[in-house]
Structure 1
Amino acid sequence: MGEEGDNSNNSSSSSSSSSWEVMEDLQRTVKESKDSAIRSALSFQQSSSSHLRSFQDHVPEAISKFNSYENTFFSKVKEELLTAKDHPAAAIGLTLTAGLFLMRGPRRFLFRNTLGRFQSEEAQFLRAEKNVKEFSFSVDLMKKESRKLLERASLAEKEMKNGHTELLDTGIQIQRLAKSVYKVETKTADLMDGLREIPGRDALKLRAEASLDNSHLIILSFDGVASMTSLLKQQRAALDKRIMKISELGIPV
């Protein structure tokens, strides 16, 4: 019984000591992590401050270099302008040469005869094949567009022919109607002359009478004949004007 009590006391003391060790390890780990984080933050702050100071130290030097390059550039441009002013022929020649280099045709010619010679046959073949494909694509687009335009032109031509025929027929009908109006106008003028020659009493009697023309009752009067004559003149003038417009379109009427 005494041995069992000693064993239980030993086990309890060993478990409590192990618990204290775990707690101490945990506290030590937390403290080390905290110290490491503080050291990292201080190191980052110091490095950032050093980089900022280094950048601030290099800014005046960069500004001075930029100013010197700027002065050199403008002085060089000024010298070139003075040289061009003193030697206009050379300046014109250089300008023309630069213009030729900027143009696509001369630039490609120079490339083919200089750097183009160093290209491999495979690269030249691939480039030529690409150009051929692009050219074929452009040709196909132009074919489709030209086909559409030809179809539209054909439809417009058909419509123009139909319109020409209709306009020609209409012009002929208008001309016939104008001739008929002219004949009626002539007869109306003769009727006016006849009414003027009739004596007063007979004219009054005739104005009061009714005469049948194509099974329709028409009351003749001097004023009515005069108004009809004026209306016929207006109609004939409008028809002649329309015939003139049709003739101006190149359609013989």
Structure 2
Amino acid sequence: MKVTLNVLFLIFTLLSCQESKEPSAQEIVDLAIASAGGDVIENASIHFKFRDYYYRARRENGLRTFERCTDEACMAQQDILKPDGEFVRFRESVNTPIPDSMKTKYGNSVNSVHYFSVLPYGLNDPAVTKTYVDKAKVKGRTYHRIKVTFAQEGGGEDYDDNYMYWIDTEDYSVDYLAYNYQVNEGGTRFREAYNERFVNGVRFVDYNNYKPAEQYPPLTALDSLFENNALQLLSKIELENPEVQVCPEC
């Protein structure tokens, strides 16, 4: 795991001021975002391929535009989620009308991929509530377990989903996450990060995506189920060829 000197200094300063007191959920998430390149992400253009689509994100001065394209040049079909949340689709550079009901569905799909691509960036959004749970060991390493929920206002259609993040106590990397969801008959997932790499200071990972036998086990039970090989591997979530260009050149 890579941690910049600035992040190490931030960790040392924070913990030395806290004496024996554990850092708060907010402080842990701040450190996790910093260690993953959050200061770069907030003013950068990020491109990657995920499954059959090409994705482009531009974040600058607090605004963000997310794109999903069927070809690398974004000419055949280009979906755009604008800073104000409006979804538009272009086919061969021509604006294509989309029913309002489908705009929400497509917009959520685009947003979800971009959101997961740069986690834990995004966990400081106004709709997010973070709660410190405890510490737990997974594969011999110690992690802070942080529960994340969302307010209905600003939390999207899936605001009632619950998340758990396992954040390394030493380098503040997010190595595991779990969540439950209510749509499509509902369920629970556990993700194990692997293939960590840094591109221009931004951390990218792929995930092994697991499913428990029980539909809604406690999220705190999933690390034990994982270590006991009691989870079913459903899929691999792999980002191909991530690129990062820092603004204003982005």
TM-score, structure 1 length as denominator? 0.14
| CA radius of gyration, larger in | 1
Between Structure 1 and Structure 2, the one with more strand by share is: 2
- Whose relative contact order is higher, 1 or 2, with alpha carbons under 8 Å and at least 6 apart? 2
TM-score normalised to structure 2 length: 0.14
